[in-house]
Amino acid sequence: KQEVTQIPAALSVPEGENLVLNCSFTDSAIYNLQWFRQDPGKGLTSLLLIQSSQREQTSGRLNASLDKSSGRSTLYIAASQPGDSATYLCAVHNAGNNRKLIWGLGTSLAVNP
């Protein structure tokens, strides 16, 4: 059974720091992995999608990597800003009949001015 773990659960950093959020998963039979951002009580915004055959994806200050064999993904945020404060969720798209997403519980990020 696929399980997704995100570390750390919470993170508080000063503005300008580069930071890394971690996501690990137990079953490498995946279609892809997706990183989302969620502001408190709000919807889910897709940040990056990495297909299982890819190693990384970049969008602006964000870079996500995928190592399927070791069951790990990292989200790198460069030069963090207060507007980056949110919860970051990692979701693994399981291969198989359901094709459902398996979610981590998220990392709550606070970037302090």
Partner 1 sequence: EAQVTQNPRYLITVTGKKLTVTCSQNMNHEYMSWYRQDPGLGLRQIYYSMNVEVTDKGDVPEGYKVSRKEKRNFPLILESPSPNQTSLYFCASSPGQGLGGYTFGSGTRLTVV
Q: Which stretch binds partner 1 (CB under 8 A): 16-24, 43-51, 62-70, 73-81?
A: 43-51
Size of the site for partner 1 (CB under 8 A): 24
Q: Which stretch binds partner 1 (CB under 8 A): 18-26, 36-44, 59-67, 72-80?
A: 36-44
Q: Does 95 bind partner 1 (CB under 8 A)?
A: yes
- Give the chain as a 3 state SS string: CCCEEEECCEEEEECCCCEEEEEEECCCCEEEEEEEEECCCCCEEEEEEEECCCCEEEECCEEEEEECCCCEEEEEECCCCHHHCEEEEEEEEECCCCCCEEECCCEEEEEEC
Q: Does 108 bind partner 1 (CB under 8 A)?
A: no
Q: Does 71 bind partner 1 (CB under 8 A)?
A: no
Among 1, 83, 99, 113, binds partner 1 (CB under 8 A): 99
Among 5, 56, 62, 93, binds partner 1 (CB under 8 A): 93
